[in-house]
């Protein structure tokens, strides 16, 4: 089975990432999770640790770190990367090559041959913004596989495209990527 790095941005859909981490682990994958600092304010990283059996990471600094350069160690470890949920902010950081946190730094340090799956989740108006669409197109052109958001009711009360795909849809995409 694969070594999967799951990156998680701050979104109301973050609960699906916990379920995804659990199900991927149950399938026999080794799953390590890196959360943005804002995501770690929404869900305690210990929840990811409980379902994966692996330490969840948030910062390269302080008592949490496990190595001198966690971002390098994590990027070398990963056989596959999933970013779910990918917020508009996180998508923009990746498209522009910015590294304001451990997750973005780790993703920038990935070897070029590591398969990458990005699963955006955001308000429909945010998703429709030309800048966000351009950032997603740019990531796709750079080798990221995009799993389009689903249409439906969102946590903000709006209806439309922007829901994080269901866990089984993400799992199917992972199976396709691990076969390649």
In whole angstroms, how far apart are CA 132 and each of 30, 88, 117, 119, 123? Answer: 31, 6, 17, 13, 11
Q: Is 156 a catalytic residue?
A: yes
Query: Which one of 156, 159, 175, 176 is the catalytic residue?
Result: 156
Pairing of strands 150-153, 144-146: unpaired
Angle at CA of residue 146, ends 140 and 152, nearest 5°: 140
Q: Where are the beta strands (DSSP E) in the chain?
A: 3-8, 30-35, 80-86, 116-120, 144-146, 150-153, 159-163
Catalytic residues: 156
């Amino acid at each position: 089975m694969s070594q999967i790095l799951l990156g998680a941005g701050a979104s109301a859909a973050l609960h699906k990432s916990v379920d995804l981490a659990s199900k991927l682990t149950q399938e026999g994958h080794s799953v390590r999770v890196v959360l943005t600092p804002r995501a770690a304010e929404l869900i305690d990283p210990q929840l990811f640790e409980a379902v994966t059996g692996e330490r969840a990471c948030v910062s390269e600094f302080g008592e949490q770190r496990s190595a001198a350069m966690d971002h390098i160690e994590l990027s070398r470890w990963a056989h596959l990367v999933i970013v779910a949920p990918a917020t508009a902010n996180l998508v923009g950081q990746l498209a522009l090559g910015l590294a304001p946190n451990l997750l973005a730094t780790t993703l920038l340090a990935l070897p070029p041959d590591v398969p990458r799956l990005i699963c955006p989740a955001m308000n429909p108006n945010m998703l429709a913004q030309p800048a966000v669409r351009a950032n997603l197109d740019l990531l796709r052109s750079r080798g990221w596989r995009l799993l389009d958001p689903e249409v439906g009711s969102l946590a903000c009360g709006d209806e439309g495209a922007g829901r994080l795909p269901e866990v089984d849809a993400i799992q199917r995409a992972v199976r396709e990527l691990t076969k390649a």
